[in-house]
A = this chain, B = another copy of it.
Amino acid sequence: MRSLEDLEREGGETVSSEELASRGHTTAAQVRKDLSHFGSFGKRGLGYRVEELRERLRQILGVDRVWRVALIGAGRIGSALFEYPAFESRGYEYVAVVDSDPAKVGNVWGELRIRSPDELESLIGDLGVELVILAVPAHAAQEMAERAVGAGIKGILNFAPIRLKVPPDVPVEDVNLVMQLEALSFLITQRGSSSP
């Protein structure tokens, strides 16, 4: 099978659903079904043109543009995220960092100065923030979320271990590390004792 790098080079080449499936730990039927939801741009007998597929996927995933994101919370998790290289390379650009700690406000991260939460709404409005990454303690998360939504953001990546209450038209992705660890514990525990 060709490597990812090979595919990158072969702009005019094609990939089969079979080949895509083996990359993504899924099945060929699954790949075809998924892609068919967004139109039919494969060639029968050939597969999918790599170049076209890539472009379509970029559109479908919404990564064919730069998303402007505000990081709320400049603690440990916030700083790890800010340095996380994969975000920038995938088209997510931090345009603001906010923290409630007065000792942090004014510090410079990269090209940004950490701002006070007081400024949240104006930052979102002025900078055209679309996505918010919430990396604050649980007790502060709901308020920040509501204010961000009120200011017009379109989605939230939530690291706080609570279920945010936001209008249904604002998607929230929860990154609940404790729940994921507990899911692991559950799977491991269940494995041994399969009879109730």
Contacts and interface: CB of A to CB of B under 8 A. Distances in A.
Interface of A: 24-25, 37-39, 59-63, 67, 76-77, 79-81, 83-84, 86-87, 90, 92, 130-131, 154-157, 161, 163, 169, 171, 173, 175, 177-178, 180-191, 196
5 contacts: A61-B186, A63-B185, A80-B80, A171-B184, A173-B183
Contact of A196 (B24, B39, B157, B161): B39
A90 B173 contact: no
B182 A90 contact: yes
Given A175-B180, A182-B63, A187-B155, A76 B86 contact: no
Contacts of A155: 184-185, 187-188
Contacts of A87: 177-178, 181
A61 B182 contact: yes
A180 B161 contact: no
A122 B90 CA distance: 38
A115 to B, nearest CB: 21
Contact of A184 (B39, B60, B157): B157
Given A77-B80, A161-B86, A196-B38, A181 B188 contact: no
A190 B62 CA distance: 8
Contacts of A178: 86-87, 90
A153 to B, nearest CB: 10
A148 to B, nearest CB: 13
Given A62-B189, A80-B77, A177 B180 contact: no
A165 to B, nearest CB: 9
A58 to B, nearest CB: 10
Contacts of A169: 191
Contacts of A157: 177, 180-181, 184
A150 to B, nearest CB: 17
